[in-house]
Copies of this chain bind each other. A is one copy, B any other.
């Protein structure tokens, strides 16, 4: 039984970790910390847990956390990096759901998150937790930086095209014309009392946001560089996120231009083969239209391909931003780190309707 600590369990990735871990046969939530809610029963804040979890939030106490096998940080950016080394030194594995261990490029981290990194050495040794693409490194890592929700869709949506091109001289797509038009449910913005988050300002409304620049852009760029091995190749990638009036769900529509090689390839088969052993990545039949409700509450990510004109490929990727886009993938990473069956505790079927 793995003893789990969760730091900062009052947000949506926190409650989602709790929901999933309570259904995990090999994990036990040992403690939940919260600066602001110490002493409060978790079920008082999240009434869905009444009768299920009797724990109260405790203050953040590193000594206590060291008695856990793994600690998840479901905190704002900048918290995990303050405590990770301490925990690692005590033999505790760390999985950060914020951005502290996502970007290897320190300058980018400083620019986008407005803070200096506290443990660049540990960052170098950490693994980027895109489970399907980085499994080997995650297995032995002490610290995992869990990917952002948008970057998860983009990486899994493009990986078969980028990985395959390495085998030949020629790539399948042009790197210069990648457009990611992404859409997220409101829970992607977290659990925050701000005017922009309130019901009446978001319902029956749709908008783009963050067009001036979004923190997931450098993460996407760095990750695609790593996947393709092409440093600097994705600078002109355009990423525009939009806000959908729904609670959960994320759908990215990715537009790429095919090279001659790409136009000749059987891309549907390429994707199906690339993911044939993956339990959580579903390459849908050609012509399918992934819907976010098909993954509501589930760890699946679904992909469909279209080719509206000879040179253009459209890749549609759907996931639940809080599961495969956050807490579900974090638990998938925990399973990998502890040598468990990768899908353990992640069998929740999507809630439909």
Name the residue on B nearest A236 (C-beta): B309
Which of A218-271 touch B at CB < 8 Å?
A: 235-236, 238-240, 242, 244-249, 251, 253, 255, 257
Q: Is A289 at the interface (CB under 8 A from chain B)?
A: yes
**A:1-42 near B, CB below 8 Å:** 12, 15, 19, 22-23
In the complex, the answer to whether B300 meets A248 with C-beta atoms within 8 Å is no
How many residues on A have C-beta within 8 angstroms of the other chain's C-beta atoms? Answer: 88
Encoded as 1 (CB less than 8 Å from any B CB) or 0, chain A from 181 to 220 comes to 1010111000111110111111111111101110000000
Task: Give the segment of A78-86, A116-124, A311-319 that binds chain B.
Answer: A311-319
* Residues from chain B with Cβ under 8 Å of A22 in the complex: 349
Distance in Å: Cβ of A247 to nearest Cβ of chain B: 5
Does B204 contact A204, Cβ atoms closer than 8 Å? yes
A253→B48 CA distance, assembly (Å): 20
In the assembled complex, the Cα of A211 lies from the Cα of B251 at a distance in Å of 14
A141 within 8 A of B: no
Task: Provide a sorted-by-A list of 24 A–B residue pairs whose CB atoms are within 8 angstroms.
Answer: A15-B352, A19-B352, A47-B290, A48-B295, A48-B296, A48-B350, A49-B349, A51-B300, A181-B181, A199-B199, A201-B293, A203-B353, A205-B249, A206-B249, A207-B292, A209-B289, A211-B287, A211-B316, A235-B309, A242-B251, A244-B244, A245-B245, A245-B246, A247-B353
Q: Which 3 A-B pairs have the closest CB atoms?
A: A48-B350, A47-B294, A181-B181
